[in-house]
Structure 1
Amino acid sequence: MKFQSIEFLNGNCTLANISKRVFLVSFTLFVTVFLLSLLRGSLHSSSKISASTSLRSNDTKQCDLFSGKWVSHPQGPYYNTETCHFIPDQQNCIKNGRPDTEFMNWRWKPDECDLPLFNAKQFLEIVRGKSMAFVGDSVGRNQMQSLLCLLAGVAYPNDISGRYTLHPYSTVRFYADYNFTLATVWSTFLVRASDADPGGHSYSSIMKLYLDEVDKSWVTQIQNFDYVIISVGQWFLRPLMFYESGQVVGCYYCNNENITTLTNYYGLKKAYQTAFKTLMDLKGYKGVTILRTYSPQHFENGQWNDGGSCGRTRPFTPKEMRLDGYMLEGYLSEVEVFRAEEKEARKRGLQFWLIDISELMMLRPDGHPNKYGRSRDKNMTVNDCVHWCIPGPIDTWNEFLLHMMKIGYGISFN
């Protein structure tokens, strides 16, 4: 809060004028003290333990974009299967026969402001001559595919993935009219990983994670990117053997009495620490690093491999559902690391942003493909309560992204 000083003019002054000025100075001091006391009281009464992210607009008013509710939006989605050819079969819920469509008719409404609609032309102008990479697992790829569809009404990119040596799940696309490169870089753990099961890789086989060694397959690709959006989480729920300095330090869900049992959150935090520190130390890297927080799953009556499903057709209200259990722990682990590393990044002149979607997406059990999902590698349907239908609530993540890029970003942790 700024207070302007009162400047006295030179020249002759009458006693009346001097009295008036003394009164004005006294009155100004009184008002200043009064306002400061109110401010102290307000800060004291509103203090709480939380990790909330605010965006600062041009008029310095802060609004927590991620605190609000889902409201009816009868206008429907930005695109459909006719206007976007990038919708993958795995998340193309309408093509796969989902009969209800109401899940596409909701928008996120922050409590204290409005989240602007996505403007594809505006987005492409902002990223003209720049580059953006989604680094992480298939949910990160899910967001990138949503972005492709949001932009499809204005421009279609060329697939230039063949020019690079990449993981088969990684892609690079180029918008020639805007000189904009959009990539997805596959790295499920962010750190070096390998199979530990002699029987080979499967959905439930144990894996080795070298928590202090970054996965070079992604970090060598993104040095010159302007925006790097990082997101992992779901793969940390499988059996894991943790290594640091080349030595086993513990394991998660591996049932080995001779090895210290650690939580998967231990591995998640260490992996993010290694990734963030590597980016800060990466020579020549000046990009904006963006953490998209944990994306919740909504299996009910079982898990993905024992009959679990997610057949709800409407959002929860905040009173009906909140983050808890392992999803809350995963979210808090990410935020804890982010808070520490963001402070260090600022000292080095780097920008770390947070897209805090965990709690608001917890309210969207209706947004998953459920039995209208398909396996990426096999010609079969699956009960998918991890990924998100396209179009669907995942488009909101890119509304957040555009808004941050458009007005600038400020973070506030109470």
Structure 2
Amino acid sequence: MVNGTFSRSASARLTPRSVGSPRVSAHRKWWVAPGPSFSFLAVIFCLASVLLVVGCVIYLYAFRYPSRGRLVAGFYDESDVCDVFDGSWVPDSSYPLYNGTECPFAERGFNCLANGRQDKNYLKWRWKPRHCDIPKFDVHEILRRLRGKRVVFVGDSMSRTQWESLICMLMTGVQDPKTVYEVNGNKISKTIRFLGVKFQTFNLSVEFFRSVFLVQQGLPPTNGPRRIHMTLKLDKMDEINQRWIDSDVLIFNSGHWWTPSKLFDVGCYFQVGGVLKLGKSISSAFRMALDTWATWVETMVNTNRTHVFFRTFEPSHWSGLNQKACEVTEQPLAVAKANDRRATPTSALGATHLPFLIAATGVFLESPMLGTSLYSLIF
């Protein structure tokens, strides 16, 4: 099982010192060679230190970051190393994993076939890592292992559609669709901050909280410039964060709203501790927001129970001059387009990037999406 450790900027806590560092040199003293008994103790100490280091490495590799190796249950390796991100899309006639037209929780706007798309081959792609196989999604086993659990998605529309996709996938293993319902009777909408679907037979809740920035939005200080209509408080988590804590699986995403058109162009600027930060760049603000998020996870979430994931950034799915038309593609992209790449990659941010996407490999609202199966979460 993957348990994430979250660390803020390493440079803030670790200051490497060379042998010639002033601090090292200041404490260097000459000494006389010790006797035999001292040498014996030194050897014992060195051996114990080596064992401790080796033990730590094994622990980190096997238990903290198993996604990079053979230790994820259900993965079938062809070599000693398995990197699930190193691979390619392969055709698979057994896909898709669900019918988006028949799923009541799939938004019509994301239902390609219902909106007139004629071809279906784009649904039949599966991600294949180069050196291992990802086990096929077994909905009955997944539902059995998720019985009595609470799965929570937090983020923007990408998180919401992934939440919808997971629900549709799980519904293929439910005998009576009426036992699956939105807890407040709401229809799926991008304007609602909370959506929760209950699988009554399995006492399973799969929920979505809309929090596009993860940090708190609010009114600007009264003495601020008139062009500022709202602020992002980079040092404070979204005020609904308490509702995320009591969960078994917690999946975050953010990034798509950290753009000038979503921020500065609408009068939204940054604030820290009651002080406006008008000169702060978006990439710097995003870094600070994720540092706040990482601190929140470290201090508020019991990671012995809750498995926390931060989802990777996705390429744009828009096209056209106004960027409001769907990018209709038939083949997987070999590489991301230049305008799809972030100036600040998630892995370079202060918070540790957790290397799993939550969607099972295959169809994501009728479009393939890189990921791993839910086996990585609950096995």
Query: Shorter-chain-normalised TM-score: which range?
Result: 0.5 to 0.7
Give 2:250's aligned residue: 228
Shift of 1:84: 2.2
1:65 to 84, 106, 129: 84
Matched, 1:310 2:282: no
What TM-score do the two structures reach when normalised by structure 1?
Answer: 0.62
Question: Quick one: distance in 2 between partners of 1:98 and 1:355?
Answer: 30
RMSD between aligned alpha carbons?
A: 3.3
Give 1:4's aligned residue: none
Written as runs of structure 1 = structure 2, the 5 A alignment for 1:72-91 is: 72-81=91-100, 83-91=102-110
The Cα offsets for residues 285-316 of structure 1, whole Å up to 9 and x where unpaired, read as 741111111111044564526xx662332122
The Cα offsets for residues 98-141 of structure 1, whole Å up to 9 and x where unpaired, read as 12222101111101011222111111122112111000111101
SS at match of 1:355: coil
Question: Quick one: distance in 1 between partners of 2:93 and 2:316?
Answer: 26
Give 1:402's aligned residue: 374
Matched, 1:338 2:351: yes
Question: Quick one: distance in 2 between partners of 1:390 and 1:275?
Answer: 28
What TM-score do the two structures reach when normalised by structure 2?
Answer: 0.67
Give 1:355's aligned residue: 356
2:119 to 100, 112, 115: 100
Matched, 1:245 2:273: yes
Alpha carbons of 1:337 and 1:52: their partners in 2 closer, same or farther (altered >3 Å)? farther
1:191 to 215, 232, 237: 215
Question: Quick one: distance in 2 between partners of 1:64 and 1:234?
Answer: 26
SS at match of 2:141: helix
Q: Is the 8 A contact 1:230 1:292 kept in 2?
A: yes
Matched, 1:172 2:196: yes
Q: Is the 8 A contact 2:251 2:308 kept in 1?
A: yes
* AA at the equivalent of 1:278: W
Q: Is the 8 A contact 1:172 1:182 kept in 2?
A: yes
Question: Quick one: distance in 2 between partners of 1:73 and 1:93?
Answer: 19
* AA at the equivalent of 2:329: R
Question: Quick one: distance in 1 between partners of 2:182 and 2:244?
Answer: 18
Alpha carbons of 1:107 and 1:284: their partners in 2 closer, same or farther (altered >3 Å)? closer
Give 1:267's aligned residue: 285
Question: Quick one: distance in 2 between partners of 1:281 and 1:287?
Answer: 13
TM superposition outliers: structure 1 runs of 4+ over 6 Å:
none
Q: Is the 8 A contact 1:53 1:66 kept in 2?
A: no
Question: Quick one: distance in 2 between partners of 1:141 and 1:225?
Answer: 17
2:367 to 388, 392, 411: 392
Alpha carbons of 1:116 and 1:244: their partners in 2 closer, same or farther (altered >3 Å)? same
* AA at the equivalent of 1:312: T
Q: Is the 8 A contact 1:173 1:181 kept in 2?
A: yes
Alpha carbons of 1:404 and 1:335: their partners in 2 closer, same or farther (altered >3 Å)? farther
Q: Is the 8 A contact 2:136 2:373 kept in 1?
A: no
* AA at the equivalent of 2:236: E
Shift of 1:154: 1.2
* AA at the equivalent of 1:193: Q
* AA at the equivalent of 1:180: L
Matched, 1:140 2:159: yes
Overall identity of the aligned pairs, in %:
24
* AA at the equivalent of 2:85: F
* AA at the equivalent of 1:263: S
Question: Quick one: distance in 2 between partners of 1:334 and 1:323?
Answer: 19
Question: Quick one: distance in 1 between partners of 2:94 and 2:294?
Answer: 40
Q: Is the 8 A contact 2:149 2:247 kept in 1?
A: yes
* AA at the equivalent of 1:173: V
Shift of 1:325: 5.4
The Cα offsets for residues 187-223 of structure 1, whole Å up to 9 and x where unpaired, read as 1110111477xxxxxxxx9742110011021x11022
| Number of aligned residue pairs | 287
Shift of 1:242: 1.0
Shift of 1:323: 6.2
The Cα offsets for residues 49-82 of structure 1, whole Å up to 9 and x where unpaired, read as xx99515235995411111111112233011145
SS at match of 1:328: coil
